[in-house]
Amino acid sequence: MAKELAADAAMSSGGRRKRGRPMRRTGRRQRENLAKVVRDKLYPVDEGLQLLKEVTKGTKFDQSINVAVHLGIDPRHADQLVRGSISLPMGIGKTKRVIAFCDGPDAEAAKAAGAIEAGIDELVDKISGGWQEFDVAIAHPRAMGKVGKLGRVLGPSGKMPSPKNGTVTPNVGVAVKEFAAGKIDFRNDAGGNIHAVVGRASFSADDLKTNLKAFVDHLRRLKPSTAKGTYIKKVCVSGTMSPGVLLEVEQ
């Protein structure tokens, strides 16, 4: 759906292209897939996921399956922001490179749990020098005094440890194991949308449904007390290279 909206936005009034921007040609497979999805239709979850399986076939790689959830919140108010983390029951089909800011026995536990790097001073210096070959950073609370200065480096890429998404914790070994196995963290954007990966195209429709239900249920539990009206407004699933499919999800 996002790709379709972007394509619409690329056209000026009257259906003309914007100057200086050549129109992208739509490939045969993409045209066929777009024709299979009824735009703006709310599909029952089972039917929608079967359709998603159909339109993600034929690529040379295992596409990520993404979900976008539009929430009935006002992102301008701090008390209505939604963020968190979750380990999906069926995983996401991908491991993550995790580092840990800790020392002593905690560093040993982090390495045993799968951290590619663990330490404090040397690791802070390494990242300050430009190294960011990792996906998630975990930190012990006592290390945050030194890790805090990395905010300008790790903040823009979303890698700064934070208690709100479970990446600042005294249980470093447990957190490393969970995030290395594919635990996802999320936060709403300026439009009140949450984006997350819920699996791969190779997953069965049942496994995708299990992950999707777990994720949406988790969002429901995070509903801000000040949010009014309909909370889960829209749920759209899509593959890396597929059209989006809107799902009919219970409130």
pLDDT in tens, 181-213: 888 889 999 999 999 999 999 999 999 999 999
- Model confidence at 59, pLDDT cuts 50, 70, 90, reads confident
Euclidean distance between CA atoms 93 and 177, whole angstroms: 15
Euclidean distance between CA atoms 211 and 227, whole angstroms: 25
> Same topology for domains 35-91+185-248 and 98-181, yes or no?
no
Euclidean distance between CA atoms 113 and 108, whole angstroms: 9
* Per-residue pLDDT, 33: 83
Q: Specify the CATH superfamily of domain 98-181.
A: Ribosomal protein L1/L10, domain II (3.40.50.790)
Nearest by Cα to 70 from 230, 225, 205, 202 = 230
For residue 152, the 8-state DSSP code is: H
Where exactly are the structural domains of the chain?
A: 35-91+185-248, 98-181
Higher pLDDT, 47 or 22: 47
Architecture of domain 35-91+185-248: 2-Layer Sandwich (3.30)
Q: State which amino acid sits at residue 241.
A: M
The answer to whether the beta carbons of residues 55 and 239 sit under 8 Å apart is yes
Long-range CB contacts (within 8 A, 24+) of 81-84 = 81/187, 81/188, 81/224, 82/187, 82/188, 82/194, 82/219, 82/222, 82/223, 82/224, 83/164, 83/165, 83/185, 83/186, 83/187, 83/188, 84/164, 84/165, 84/166, 84/185, 84/186, 84/187, 84/218, 84/222
Nearest by Cα to 168 from 213, 72, 101, 232 = 101
- Model confidence at 13, pLDDT cuts 50, 70, 90, reads very low
> For 79-84, what is the mean pLDDT?
93
User: What backbone torsions phi and psi does residue 206 show, to the nearest 5 degrees?
Assistant: -65, -40
Average pLDDT for the chain: 88
Burial class for 171, CB neighbours closer than 10 Å (0-12, 13-18, 19+): middle
Mean pLDDT highest for which of 6-20, 86-100, 126-140?
Answer: 126-140
